[in-house]
Structure 1
Amino acid sequence: MENWHSLCTKENFIGLGSTRKVYRFNEYVIKVHLNHIGYLQSLRELEIYQYIKQTKYAHIFSPVFYVDKEVCIQQYYQEVPMYDNQTFDIHERSGYWTFPIHYDECIEVLDNEWDVFDIKDSSNYGINEKQELVLIDYGMSKTLYEKEWVPAAEKGEVPQIEVHICRGCGTQKEIRMYGKDDSDIRCIACGKE
């Protein structure tokens, strides 16, 4: 673990959220915390997974193996592809994936007992070898979102995702925007982080 920095290269980069940057190393992902909220999300994922792995819902979750103040290590799953360079509500589109057994029941448990937020967004899912959906990002609670993420986004400290035409590549896609005064309308591929 002390050499995790060397595994997080441009070639291994697979995703970027508002609070964590994700790299793949073999069958694992390394989620690097970009801020305190990312760390809290990872702790929450660990807490949820420790509980859920004892239940009939375990197969719906990416296992969490390790969390510290800098990183979270999880199992890698193929990402759900974007449509038109954008994420989507997982229930509003079909694809080559299927919903796993007990999925709807599990979502209710996460909503009612764990206060999980934004769990229908396609970017929070991967696909396992059976072509079933697996939750890969499930640490944001409604409380954490309201008390920490929203104020940080309003200050421009964490990005909100908006759809724009990228000034770099000219493609309409999701762009990370840091507050209302952010004028850098470029996508991740064109260099904006």
Structure 2
Amino acid sequence: MNEKAEPLENLIRNWRTYCTEENFIGIGSSRKVYKVGERVIKVHLHPIGKLQSQNEMAIYNEIEAKGLAPLFAAVHFVDERISIQSYYRPILRRDNQSFEIDGDKDAIWIPDRYEDALLELDREFDCFDLKDSDNYGLNDQGKLVFIDYGMSKSLYENMWVPLAEAGVLPQIEFDICNGCGEKKELRMYGEEDQDKRCYSCGKE
């Protein structure tokens, strides 16, 4: 499906029809993501996902006023169930896992005012996990764009951690999948969870 031929209103109204296995591009502990042309639909799997999306919209609106919008994926819509955001191509993982962005090692990707954006996110919005490569995409010039920036330190500590420890939300563990035998990211629900299968092998 070509997003350019679909008005935003259609995506909002008919979002379920776009959230198909062929459009699936990623899943976290609280949101599942589908690509539709040049946009993504983030489906909220848990109320924390909705809070992250709301934070992203609030942050984007303020960042835009400060001239930093090119460094962030625009948020076009948020409600109880979904958010719609601009799509940017993912950063390839290293050894099948995400990595921390390094200003020297990854200098080719660093856009102008990147440090300003990091400072704003940390100081003004209390954002968490700012340098994980999975939180970025690349624009047409091959420069970093924040695509997942709605998790604050307070949201992480006060809501995410207790729910993860209780086995309600999954923590990500890099280990051998008992299904396909490959070393992948596994979604593990608390210390008692022994089901070591990856998403591709059926564990959500």
TM-score > 0.5, shorter chain as reference: yes
Among 99, 103, 112, which residue is 2:114 paired with?
A: 103
- Residue in structure 2 matched with residue 50 of structure 1 by the alignment: 61
Distance, in Å, in 1 between the alignment partners of 2:92 and 2:108 is: 11
Residue 57 of structure 1 and its aligned partner are, at CA, apart by: 1.4
Q: Match for 1:60: what amino acid? A: L
Q: Which structure 1 residue ranges, 4+ long, deviate > 4 Å from structure 2?
A: 92-97
CA deviation map 1:111-155 (0-9, x unaligned): 111100011111100000000010000000000001110011011
**1:177 and 2:191 equivalent?**
no
Considering fraction of residues, name the structure with more helix. Answer: 2
Unaligned runs of 5+ in 2: 1-11
TM-score after normalising by structure 2? 0.91
CA distance in 2, matches of 1:129, 1:119: 21
Provide the aligned length of Structure 1 versus Structure 2.
193
SS of the residue aligned with 2:193? coil
Task: Give the counterpart letter for 1:152 in structure 2.
Answer: L
Identity between Structure 1 and Structure 2 (%) = 52
C-alpha distance in structure 2 between counterparts of 1:100 and 1:147, whole Å: 32
Aligned-residue CA RMSD in angstroms? 1.4
C-alpha deviation, 1:2, in angstroms: 2.1
Normalised to the residue count of structure 1, the TM-score between the two structures is: 0.96
Please, which runs of 5 or more residues in structure 1 have no aligned partner? none
| 3-state DSSP of counterpart to 1:184 | coil
Q: Matched residue of 2:195: which SS?
A: coil
Partner of 2:133: 122
CA distance in 2, matches of 1:152, 1:98: 34
1:71 is matched with which residue?
Answer: 82
Supply the distance in 1 between the matched residues of 2:21 and 2:108 (Cα, whole angstroms).
28
